[in-house]
């Protein structure tokens, strides 16, 4: 029924997906996931878990990844707006350490496909945001990895906020990318 528009990013593997929205005087409808459409777009990921979080303005979650059980993710926002970021951590990649950021919002309905091998995080731009994501492997708490959200060697250009950045205790002490490369 519905088709999706898929846009390539400057880092191979990252994709922006825009669903077709059908609207009339009653409101609108869209398919947020269709396995056939995804396969046609070259995404053959099998998603095993759906997650949803709510955060307030200024919260930065990330940059996180799973070490031994990597996850591809399909992320979207259902309330509010975030600046979503993926950092290439694939060994041997020509774009290792590079990042791509995208505004995701309930209004623009964009989804961001992030394959295995990337760190991921987001910053909440609206007063409140609800963030949904599908993942290709189950969460393993002892397998968490992360890099510092403001690592100067990665150089993510986070949007300027009119509130202080809010981080978890874990995200305040994540290592820099160069520390991970020394391990």
Annotation marks residue 140 as catalytic? no
Residue 51, token pair as written in the block: 């997650």
Sheet containing 144-146: which strands, arranged edge to edge? Answer: 99-105, 81-88, 118-124, 60-66, 144-146
Alpha-carbon distance 114 to 103, whole Å?
Answer: 14
Backbone torsions φ then ψ of 178, nearest 5 degrees: -65, -30
* Candidates 100, 113, 120, 133; catalytic one: 133
Q: Which of 77, 148, 146 has the alpha carbon at shortest distance from 109?
A: 77
Annotation marks residue 133 as catalytic? yes
* Candidates 64, 65, 100, 113; catalytic one: 64
- Helix H, strand E, coil C: the string for 158-178 is CCCCCCCCECCHHHHCCCCHH
Backbone torsions φ then ψ of 25, nearest 5 degrees: -65, -20
Catalytic residue IDs: 64, 133
């Amino acid at each position: 029924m519905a088709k999706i528009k898929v846009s390539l990013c400057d880092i191979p593997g990252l994709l922006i997906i825009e669903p077709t929205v059908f609207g009339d005087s009653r409101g609108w409808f869209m398919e947020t996931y269709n396995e056939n459409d995804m396969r046609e777009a070259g995404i053959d990921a099998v998603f095993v878990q759906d997650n949803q979080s709510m955060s307030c303005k200024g919260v930065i979650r990330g940059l996180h990844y799973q070490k031994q059980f990597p996850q591809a993710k399909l992320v979207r926002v259902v309330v509010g707006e975030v600046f979503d970021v993926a950092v290439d951590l694939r060994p041997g990649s020509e774009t290792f350490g590079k990042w791509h950021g995208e505004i995701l919002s309930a209004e623009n309905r964009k989804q961001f496909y992030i394959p295995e091998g990337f760190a991921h995080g987001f910053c909440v731009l609206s007063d409140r945001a609800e963030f949904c994501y599908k993942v290709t492997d189950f969460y393993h708490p002892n397998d968490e990895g992360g890099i510092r959200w403001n690592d100067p060697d990665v150089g993510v250009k986070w949007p300027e906020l009119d509130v202080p950045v809010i981080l978890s205790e874990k995200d305040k002490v994540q290592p820099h990318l160069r520390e991970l490369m020394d391990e």
